[in-house]
Amino acid sequence: MRILQVSAEIFPLLKTGGLADIAGALPQALAGAGCEVRAVLPGLPAIRQALLESVVVGQFPTPWGETVGVRLGQLAGVPGGAGLLSAYVLEAPALYDRPGNPYEDAQRRPYADNHRRFAALGWAAAHLAHGLDRAWTPQLVHCHDWHAALAPACLKHWSGAAAAAVPSLYTVHNLAYQGVFDASVFGELGLPPAAFAVDGLEFHGQVSFMKAGLYYADHLSTVSPSYAREIQTPEQGCGLDGLLRARRDHLSGILNAVDEAVWNPATDALISHRYLPERMAGKALCKAALQRHIGLAEQVDAPLFALVGRITGQKGLPLVLAGADEIVAQGGQLLVLGSGEAELEQALQQQSQRHPGRVAVHLGYDEALAHRIFAGSDVTLVPSLFEPCGLTQMYGLKYGSLPLVRGVGGLADTVIDADLATLADHSATGFVFGPFTDAAYQHALRRAFALYRKPAAWARVRQTGMRQPLGWAPAALAYRALYQRLVGP
């Protein structure tokens, strides 16, 4: 089956979060399940520079009168099956020739022409589905997040001669980021006036890319079974729960997985010492190296709690800030790696100044340090307000850093709380708390400390976590089954 994957990011070339990890791992996983995947990506500098042996296969006019070239090549560093991933990259320097974050400028302001930048991506997918590259036409278009979400609308409204219907799957990685624009941009999207309606991409008088995907895609998926249920409720539906309930028969939850070629303490070249579940000595050395590197007291018996993630309300930073004193009071250490909202960043820095050697904060994005943190920490904190899937708790499991998570979305689907029963039957893998309150979070912290003081029990939970099957094979089979249903016999 020929699948065209549409996304704005792809690991290791361009990443702001988990979306990139998934877009980078899925093509090879799907190749293992017998699919042939090609990607279409915006021509952002990091992506253009990595495109090898490329040729121009065609071009198309945008609705606002620009010409976008489409180049086909192989993406350096991204496996796509037997070799590198074949990718179509859009050539439109006026839209994409901007370094750094793909969505916002250096002052963290969204680019004013984002609707054009990602409408071009949607139209590119539709053109490829209708023969722009005569040598390869996908049987299905798989779009990821709002940046790719105009594609299903473009496909549905395609009006070329002999237009064969190419089905689309739209995967929501995070319903909170919707790509909403002023109604005045609608005229630039190239869609018929009827599309600006409740039965279309209109959302409270504005244009919503997210809604275009949710309304027009033949099938919807999201990245965990729990989140698939949660987004159908007013609490977590971000205003779109009605539409999601209406489409619930066309909505699947497929749990993300871990790319074990990248995230594996037995082979990871980014960490100082490698280790296996049955040979854990390297982990203690990783912890000491991390403490030294990051300016924490080099104390082997101080449980090290770490959070790697975007510094936003979603990730539960208010709980982490309020709980820092509790960690320090109990003799533990706290390390945060991330970047995001200025106010939260400042508050984190204040905590680290109050507790030198006990609380460390590294602001910024550092892929190698993230690996060293999972390897060197004892507990991976993911106390999210909501979490579509979450990858860091799974990296924590793989690296023997017990996840401490709030029981929502994919966190609830991947971590088994250590209670008397699960400790007794050896199924426990971490700590799960319920209400988004300081009290519930700090109670979970205290439970982690209590278990840490029982080294044998701690080691057993860690072993169970490290041995969890988290690879891509089951998800790849689930996606393939979905594709097959949509493509038909």
Q: Which is nearer to ligand GLC, 259 or 417 (CB)?
A: 259
C-alpha separations of 244 from 19, 191, 202, 219, 229 in Å: 21, 22, 15, 11, 9
Q: How far is the CB of 297 from ligand GLC (least distance, A)?
A: 32
Binding-site member from 19, 155, 344, 405 for ligand GLC (CB under 6 A): 19
As a residue count, the chain comes to 489
CB-count exposure of residue 145 (10 Å: 0-12, 13-18, 19+): buried
C-alpha separations of 112 from 17, 212, 435 in Å: 22, 20, 38
CA 204 – CA 183 distance, rounded (Å)? 10
Q: Which is nearer to ligand GLC, 268 or 387 (CB)?
A: 387
Binding-site member from 174, 221, 291, 393 for ligand GLC (CB under 6 A): 174
Pairing of strands 402-406, 51-61: unpaired
Q: How far is the CB of 459 from ligand GLC (least distance, A)?
A: 28
Residue list 360-399, contact with ligand ADP (CB under 6 A): 365-367, 370, 389-392
Exposure pattern of 188-220 as b/e (b: 16+ CB <10 Å)? bbbbeeebbeeebbbbeebbbbbbbbbbbbbbb
Residue list 276-335, contact with ligand ADP (CB under 6 A): 308-310
Q: Percent helix, strand, coil in the chain (nearest 5)?
A: 40, 20, 40
| Gyration radius of the chain's alpha carbons | 23
| Residue where the block lists tokens 């507790």 | 355
Candidates 12-20, 87-95, 197-205, 260-268; binding stretch for ligand GLC (CB under 6 A): 12-20
C-alpha dihedral, 201 to 206 to 207 to 213, nearest 10°:
-40
Q: Which is nearer to ligand GLC, 18 or 152 (CB)?
A: 18
Binding-site member from 28, 221, 256, 351 for ligand GLC (CB under 6 A): 256
Q: How far is the CB of 174 from ligand GLC (least distance, A)?
A: 4
17 binds ligand ADP, rule: CB under 6 A: yes
Candidates 108-116, 124-132, 201-209, 382-390; binding stretch for ligand GLC (CB under 6 A): 382-390
- State how far Cα 478 lies from the chain centre: 18
CA 400 – CA 84 distance, rounded (Å)? 31
Binding-site member from 257, 391, 412, 451 for ligand GLC (CB under 6 A): 391
CB atoms within 10 A of CB 22: 27
Binding-site member from 6, 337, 416, 418 for ligand ADP (CB under 6 A): 337
Q: How far is the CB of 107 from ligand ADP (least distance, A)?
A: 19
**Residue 308 binding target from ligand GLC, ligand ADP, none, CB below 5 to 8 Å by type:** ligand ADP
Q: How far is the CB of 23 from ligand GLC (least distance, A)?
A: 9
**What is the contact surface with ligand ADP in residues (CB under 6 A)?**
17-19, 21, 308-310, 337-339, 365-367, 370, 389-392
Residues at the site binding ligand GLC, with contacts judged by CB under 6 A: 17-19, 22, 173-174, 223, 256, 387-391, 410
